C-alpha cells in the first residue's frame, strides 16, 4: 500500500510540474511529451502494485496448514492463468475453484490443493502421483507425447467423469499448446490408485507413479473429482522456464 501512495505522489508531482513558479504554463512540446510518458509509467506502476497486493492478500487470507502451505509462486501463477482463462471464456465467469499440483515438491508430500477462491479456503490437500518416466520421488521430465508415460505441465479444464480401468475417473482438457494439449488423446485423466498412499511411500521410499495421469489416493478420488468436475481449472506447476515464459495463460 505504501508503494501505491508513493506512485500516486509521483503522478501528482508530475502533473503539477506543468506550471512554472510564476504561475505560467510551460507549453514546450518536448516537456509535455516527456511528462505524458512519465505519467503513463507512474500509472502502470500503481496498477501493477495493486495487482501484486491483491494476489498476496488473497494468498495470505487462505487457510493453508503451516506444514502444507502452497508455494506462493505456484499460487500466483495458477491464479493468473485462472483469471486469464475466465477472461478468454474458457471458464465460466463465476468459476471459483482452482486446483494446483506443485510438482516441484517430493511426491511423498501432499502437493495437490483444491482451493475455493471465493471462500478463501482449502477444500482438499492430497498426495498426487506423477508419470513413471517423469521421475522417481521428484518430478524432473515432462512431455506432451503419447506413450511417453510422462506428466504434462500447464493449465487444464476439467471435463466429464466416467468409469474406466482405474475406476471413477475425470477427463482433462489441456489448454497449453505444445505442453499439454494432447492430454485428451493420451487419455491423461484424474483417477485413483492404490500406489498413491503413505503406506506405499513408507515401503518404497516414494509413492507409486502413473502413466502420466495425476493419480489420487483411493479414499479421496470420488470427493475430489465430484468437487472439481465440470469446467473448473487444474494447474500442474513446475519451475520450468521454457513453459513459464511460453504459456499464453501466464501473460500479464
Domain boundaries, given as residue ranges, for the chain? 2-55, 68-250
Q: Which of 36-45, 180-189, 234-243 has the lowest mean pLDDT?
A: 36-45
For residue 110, what pLDDT is reported?
Answer: 97
pTM: 0.79
Answer whether residue 33 shows pLDDT above 90.
no
Q: What is the dihedral of CA 218, 223, 227, 232, to 10 degrees?
A: 0
Lowest average pLDDT, out of 50-59, 93-102, 150-159, 217-226, goes to 50-59
pLDDT digits (tens, 9 = 90+) for 176-186: 999 999 999 99
For the cut 50, the answer to whether the pLDDT of residue 174 exceeds it is yes
- Whether 211 has a pLDDT exceeding 90, the answer reads yes
**Would the pLDDT of 32 be above 70?**
no
Three-state secondary structure of the chain: CHHHHHHHHHHHHHHHCCECCCCCECCCHHHHHHHHHHHHHHHHHHHHHHHHHHHHHHHHHCCCCHHHCCCHHHHHHHHHHHHHHHHCCCCCCCCCEEEEEECCCCCCCCCEEEEECCCCEEEEEECCCCECCCCCCCCCCECCCCCCCCECCEEEEEEEEEEECCEEEEEEEECCCCCCCCHHHHCCEEEEECCCCHHHHHHHCCCCCECCCCCEEHHHHHHHHHHHCCCCEEEEECCCHHHHHHCHHHCC
Instruction: List residues bridging with 123 in a β-sheet.
Output: none
At the top level of CATH, which class does the domain 68-250 belong to?
A: mainly beta
**213-227 pLDDT, tens per residue?**
999 999 999 999 999
Amino acid at each position: 500500500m505504501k508503494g501505491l501512495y508513493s506512485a500516486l505522489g509521483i503522478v501528482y508531482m508530475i502533473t503539477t510540474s506543468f506550471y512554472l513558479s510564476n504561475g505560467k504554463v510551460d507549453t514546450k512540446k518536448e516537456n509535455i511529451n516527456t511528462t505524458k510518458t512519465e505519467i503513463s509509467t507512474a500509472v502502470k506502476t500503481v496498477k501493477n502494485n495493486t495487482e501484486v497486493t491483491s494476489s498476496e492478500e488473497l494468498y495470505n487470507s487462505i487457510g493453508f496448514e503451516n506444514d502444507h502451505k502452497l508455494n506462493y509462486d505456484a499460487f500466483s501463477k495458477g491464479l493468473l492463468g485462472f483469471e486469464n482463462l475466465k477472461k478468454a471464456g474458457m471458464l465460466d465467469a463465476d468459476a471459483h475453484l482452482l486446483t494446483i499440483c506443485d510438482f516441484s515438491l517430493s511426491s511423498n508430500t501432499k502437493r495437490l490443493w483444491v482451493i475455493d477462491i471465493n471462500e478463501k479456503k482449502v477444500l482438499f490437500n492430497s498426495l498426487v502421483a506423477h508419470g513413471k518416466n517423469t521421475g522417481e520421488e521428484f518430478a524432473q521430465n515432462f512431455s506432451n507425447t503419447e506413450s511417453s508415460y510422462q506428466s504434462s505441465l500447464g493449465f487444464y479444464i476439467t471435463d466429464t467423469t466416467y468409469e474406466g480401468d482405474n475406476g471413477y475417473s475425470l477427463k482433462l482438457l489441456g489448454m497449453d499448446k505444445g505442453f499439454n494439449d494432447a492430454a485428451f488423446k493420451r487419455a491423461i485423466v484424474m483417477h485413483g490408485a492404490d500406489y498413491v498412499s503413505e503406506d506405499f511411500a513408507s515401503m518404497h521410499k516414494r509413492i507409486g507413479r502413473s502413466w502420466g495421469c495425476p493419480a489420487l489416493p483411493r479414499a479421496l478420488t470420488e470427493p475430489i473429482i465430484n468437487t472439481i468436475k465440470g469446467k473448473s481449472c487444474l494447474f500442474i506447476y513446475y519451475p520450468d522456464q521454457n513453459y513459464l515464459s511460453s504459456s499464453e495463460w501466464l501473460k500479464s
